[in-house]
Amino acid sequence: MSDEVNYHWGIIMNILFWNTNIPKSGDTKASNIDSCLLSLVMENDVDLLILAEYGEDINYLCRAISNLTGVQYIPIQSTNNCKIKGIVNIKYNIQTLREDISSRYLIVKITTEFYELIVAMIHSDSKLYSRDNRQEEALRWFHYKIIEVQEEHQCSNVIAIGDYNVNPFEEACLSASTLFALPFAEDTIRNPTRKMGDRIYQKFYNPTWKFLGNREIPYTTYHYYDSRDMTNCYWNAIDQVMIRPSLIKVFDDKHFKIISNTKEHQLLRNKKPDDENYSDHLPLFCILKEELI
């Protein structure tokens, strides 16, 4: 067994998020998406798979992944038919802590022999149906629930991942009263909170900023064109990862990436996400160095 394989199985957690854009079972793209998911998990040794808008049978997908990889995976349990679904390597003990009544977020705790980790997963309100203030309120509440869980379980190791439906530079991400997700790792470590008046606000580090300004396609995970919008930036980083300061040293910035293809599947068409055959989003992949948690 190679050192690389030893490193994977012993020391890191590989996480993949994808808004698959098949909210209803039987979508014509479903077979393509499922086949691609199998390839994504296999090629990237995924330990935790998080999906938004996945209307197919998550239990069937879980069995297919287990059969293909030879590793046993289990579905993340939801009592509220959450819009966020997940599959996790059975080597992790996982407990569902919070679910949104409108099915927009799911917060779980992963426990191993060595550490505890809170994973907050979200598919937030779309700009197509929500004004900025509604999006801000939704993400403010999401952050409040994360803090609630942190305090309840005395755990500051938090990774929040999903489709936020806002860009990193929007107020819903940046404001201290919403997510307070900043692009500066060292500053976030030095100053993990900010006091304003009588309130103390907790910061996230948002490594997703690194994709903004990419010079090669894919620039981000989502492309949208609106001929009526004068400020349309075409490519949007609405699929994001955010981490608490305690996990900054654990997060592998070098291998944080957007995936645009597997050996058998090309997820771009005409240099944009192929929403005809796959999804209008691209998958987001990151690594946590477990030995540092």
Contact status, residue 212 vs residue 173, Cβ threshold 8 Å:
no
Tens of pLDDT, residue by residue over 229-287, are: 666 789 999 999 999 999 999 999 999 999 999 999 999 999 999 999 999 999 999 99
pLDDT band, residue 106 (cuts 50/70/90): very high
Q: What is the DSSP string of the chain?
A: --HHHHHHHHHEEEEEEEEEEE-STT-TTHHHHHHHHHHHHHHHT-SEEEEEEE-S-HHHHHHHHHHHHSS-EEEPP-SS--SEEEEEETTSEEEEEEE-TTS-EEEEEEE-SS-EEEEEEEE---TTT--HHHHHHHHHHHHHHHHHHHHHHT---EEEEEE-SS-TTSHHHH-TTTT-EES-HHHHHH--EEEETTEEEE-EE-GGGGGTT-SSS-SSSEE---TT-TT--SEE--EEEEE-GGGTTTB-GGG-EE--B-SS-B-EETTEE-TTTS-SB--EEEEEEGGG-
At the second CATH level, the architecture of 3-292 is: 4-Layer Sandwich (3.60)
Tens of pLDDT, residue by residue over 132-168, are: 788 999 999 999 999 999 999 999 999 999 999 999 9
What pTM was estimated for this model as a whole? 0.94
Cis status of the peptide bond prior to 218, with omega within 30 of 0: yes
Across residues 98-122, what is the average pLDDT?
A: 93
Contact status, residue 88 vs residue 264, Cβ threshold 8 Å:
no
* AA letter at 132: D
Contact status, residue 77 vs residue 85, Cβ threshold 8 Å:
no
CA torsion sign for 123, 225, 181, 206 is positive
Neighbours of 192 (CB within 10 A): 16
Contact status, residue 269 vs residue 276, Cβ threshold 8 Å:
yes
Q: For 55-59, 80-84, 98-102, 225-229, which range has the lowest pLDDT when averaged over its residues? A: 225-229
Look at residue 230 in the predicted model and tell me its pLDDT. 61
pLDDT band, residue 77 (cuts 50/70/90): confident
